[in-house]
Structure 1
Amino acid sequence: MHILIIALGSRGDVQPYVALGKGLKEAGHVVRLITYKNFEMLVSSCGLEFWPVKGNVQEIIESKEMRELLEKGNFLAITSRTAKEAQRTTINLAEEGLAACQGIDLLIAGIGGLYLAISLAEKLALPLIQAYVVPFTATKAFPGVLFPQSLSKLGGAVNRLSHHLIRQILWQGFRTADNLARQQVLDLPTAPFWGPYNSPSLHNSPILYGLSSSVIPKPSDWDGNTHVTGYWFLDSASDWTPSSALMEFLQNGSPPVYIGFGSMSNRKPEETADLVLQALARTQQRAILLSGWDGLRAENLPDTVFIVDSVPHSWLFPRVAAIVHHGGAGTTAASLRAGVPSIVIPFFGDQTFWGQRVAELGVGPAPIPRKLLTVERLAQAIQQAVSDRTMRQRAANLGAKIQAEDGIANAVAVVKEIEKRGLVNR
């Protein structure tokens, strides 16, 4: 089959879909992936056809306005800002999406590309597989990822309602951009006011979740067409090698703590670095600091701290004592697979959900929201993560379970099954 994957967002959002595409390619399919221009190397290095669209999430996140919004953690304001950017780029995205569909038999998209994918599927009568890395299907089992998990005490009906509310928050923010694309490019009627979630293109279509059932067990009210496959990991290339300085640092002392916040911005990176260094001094821990997009730096670093720009999580995480991160879905998955405790510092969105899940699983301390992060709180969390033997054993056991899974192979098998059942017109 010829498959088009639509993957929009930050690197953490895009990378699981590149991994899935690579697995589909290795299974004999021709895979094209449409995403932003700055991910060309990531996509092409895996042998996938790269189809670029305008936009650069890194530049958006590094803007002054977005930095301030991320620091406040207001998801509605962040969604509104993102929706404005979507309106600016929607015509190009729809035009390129339509062109990229030439010769395609099957569409795959997650939350970032869902609305465009539904429109393209309707326009071209193509089958569409929804593929998510965060829970997006309504369930009574737990609240939606933007709500406190304590909401569960109000009952399953409230849990289910919370998922529908999240869908509406996302849809209403992007509805104007979607309508522009449908009217000006695709010659389609506008989608229903409450969203295209009942589109015929989604009927009887499989839903894939790149999640481990050891982390998020499949809820009993998700039907047989919904598959929790295991994570979709994209491991580092076999020819990747660490710098000699990094290897020397790792070998000349106890396992360090990793501290990095991925694509999350800080308006005052120097102050963040100072907070982190004070917490490390209190706990007497060695550490590897990720500089991040906006240049998290600290002058006159002690010799117990090593700063890096980028290191593959799959290589580094198993070599550290604990992982301090922002709670993005991809980073959380990589840290859980490594089998070491996580300390989650959520900034916004689903990051709090993953931090709470880490704590519920007993593989990390309670999450510390970024705006509440202090030297004392971080030091306490680090001390607990490196010294709590029960927590460390739970983390190791969970890591072993995740390592034994093959999420990509399971997802590829679902795709193969729908092809076998003749649900793809070729």
Structure 2
Amino acid sequence: MTVGSRGDVAPFTGVGHGLVRAGHEVTLVTHARFAPLVRGSGVGFHALPVDPRAELESARGRGLHRSGSGAGKLLRAAGLARSLVGRITDDLIAAARTSDLLLLSASVAPLGQAVAAGLRLPSLVLPLQPVTATREFAPPLLGGGSYGALGNRLAGHGLERTVPWVFGPALPALRARLGPAAAFGPTPGRLLHGFSPQVVPRPRDWAPGLDVTGYWWPHDHVTRLPPTVREFLDAGPPPVFVGLGSATVPDPGRLSATVVRALRRAGLRGIVQRGWAGLTADGDDLLTVDEVPHALLFPETAAVVHHCGAGTTAAGIRAGVPAVPVPVQFDEGFWADRLVRLGVAPRALPLRRLTADTLAAALTRATGDPAHRERAARLAARVRAEDGVGRVVAAVERLGRA
């Protein structure tokens, strides 16, 4: 069970496919628009009624752009989530009634755990980013950085206290359907995190049971790039990929123009993914695309410019190519900082301060300094050697035997 953007969903297609191959029956419970992601995986699908893109493009969703700080934007996003949780409750219950075990993303975990408690089902939480307070860094959802050891922990515990407020509107309906056992419990003591310890080492102050497994690569039923993309790649030197995934922006035309000017100032060809931001680019040296599997495209690029969502960050690392992070919101600043620290990105360029000159300069460094590509290739080899899905499968089977 997961809710959110494509990046909140795609890794669970890989987990689901791994479980299917191990002999389990699996259903992915998420937004209807992501049903095509399970095609060919053997994973079933149960649709949730909320469309995340429609919500982000609503008046309330566009209000996120008016927040000047990470904390302000997170507060607006929490309010939006609070208004939506009641609409998915019935479908979560319906899907859970036919299940023996619930696997829950962090974005739906409090609600899913209450459903599991009401139905007396075991559950396992699978976050895609660190969600437990630690002294080592500030909560990723606040954008990364550090407030000092004590400040980091206090901020983490403060975020944990928002859970009852965000999910509280759904609790009366849950208890009416499932009885008083349906309740928000304490933070679970067993979490499997779907990122690589090469990228974020397990914090030393985390309790036992909070494990980092390695990435969960999405299941891709597409095995070839579209002909137009293949032709563009073959027509010249490796291009730069530019995409903001499921992030939305207040002025797509202005941002598209900035990207085009930067690419041309750096003397680079570009593949621009339209995404939810609505980016476009025209010219013989540019190609605008819709959804293209990152696993197929990224290894053929000179660099990837992206918003640093958890899933796109993982795909860029897996491909072994340099990055130019353009974080927009929430945990994206955290992942951008990690890429810079790992030496695979020259610097982070937050979207609010992005200009054609700063992007062109970063692209010149990312593509012109061989050290960035060499470090990216070494990191990719280590990350690809991990078996994150295998560790989740093993944990599920241990729960099944308990």
Q: Hey, what's the Cα distance between the residues in 2 that align with 1:79 and 1:258?
A: 28
- What residue is the counterpart of 2:244 in the other structure? 261
Residue type of the alignment partner of 1:240: T
Pair 86,9 (structure 1): closer, same or farther in 2 beyond 3 Å: same
Residue of 279, 283, 305 corresponding to 2:286: 305
Counterpart in the other structure of 2:28: 33
Match of 1:90 in 2: 85
Match of 1:378 among 353, 359, 365: 359
Aligned position for 1:50: 45
Aligned residue for 1:366?
347
For residue 134 of structure 1, the aligned residue among 105, 129, 132 is 129
Q: 1:83 to 1:136 in 2, by over 3 A?
A: closer
Q: Does 1:164 align with 2:147?
A: no
Aligned counterpart, 2:217: 233
- CA-to-partner distance for each residue in 1:221-258, whole Å, 9 max, x for gaps? 33332221110011422x53223222121112111110
Equivalent of 1:60, from 55, 58, 71? Answer: 55
Aligned to 1:217: 201
- Equivalent residue letter for 1:329: A
Q: Hey, what does 1:113 align to over in structure 2?
A: 108
Task: Establish whether residue 331 from structure 1 lines up as the match of residue 320 from structure 2.
Answer: no
The RMSD of aligned alpha carbons is 2.2
Q: How far 1:13 moved relative to its partner?
A: 0.4
Could you tell me how far 1:278 is from its partner in structure 2? 0.8
Consecutive aligned runs of 4 or more in structure 1 exceeding 3 Å deviation: 70-92, 146-150, 180-187
Distance 2:394 2:65 in 1: 38
Contact kept? 1:40, 1:52, Cα under 8 Å: yes
Aligned to 2:299: 318
* Aligned equivalent of 1:293: 276
How far off its partner does 1:179 sit? 2.8
Q: Secondary structure at the match of 1:343?
A: strand
TM-score, L = length of structure 1: 0.88
Sequence identity of aligned pairs in percent?
Answer: 36
The whole-number CA distance in structure 2 between the counterparts of 1:80 and 1:151 is 19
Partner Cα distance (2:383, 2:65) in 1: 31
1:99 paired to 2:94: yes
Which letter maps to 1:224?
P
The answer to whether the 8 Å contact 1:72/1:371 transfers is no
Q: How far apart, CA to CA, are the structure 1 residues paired with 2:85 and 2:59?
A: 23
Q: Residue 232 and residue 73 in structure 1: after superposition, are their counterparts in 2 closer, same or farther (change >3 A)?
A: farther
The aligned counterpart of 1:351 is 332
**2 CA distance for matches of 1:294 and 1:149?**
23
Give the Cα separation in 2 of the matches to 1:234 and 1:417: 23
Is the Cα–Cα contact under 8 Å of residues 37 and 219 in structure 2 kept in the other structure? no
Give the aligned residue type for 2:169.
Answer: A
**Which letter maps to 2:336?**
G
Structure 1 alignment gaps of length 5 or more: 1-5
Of 171, 176, 185 in structure 1, the residue corresponding to residue 168 of structure 2 is 176
Alignment length (residue pairs): 402
- The CA deviation string for residues 143-167 of structure 1, in whole angstroms up to 9 with x for no partner, is 2213465426x33x33222221222
Kindly provide the amino acid, as one letter, of the partner of residue 305 in structure 1: L
Give the TM-score normalised by the residue count of structure 2: 0.93
Q: Secondary structure at the match of 1:288?
A: strand
Secondary structure at the counterpart of residue 112 of structure 1: coil
Q: Per-residue displacement from partner, 1:361-408 (whole Å, max 9, x unpaired)? A: 111022111110011111111011001222221111101111112211
Which residue of 178, 185, 194 corresponds with 1:196? 185
1:186 paired with 2:178, answer: yes
The verdict on how the C-alpha distance between 1:397 and 1:329 changes in structure 2, with shifts beyond 3 A counting, is same
- The answer to whether residue 16 in structure 2 is matched with residue 21 in structure 1 is yes
Quote the residue 1:9 is aligned against: 4
- Per the alignment, residue 395 of structure 2 pairs with 414
Could you say if the C-alpha distance between residues 172 and 73 of structure 1 is closer, same or farther in structure 2, counting changes exceeding 3 Å? farther
1:73: how far off?
A: 5.7
Structure 1 residue 183: deviation in Å? 4.0
| Residue 245 (1) aligns with residue 228 (2) | yes
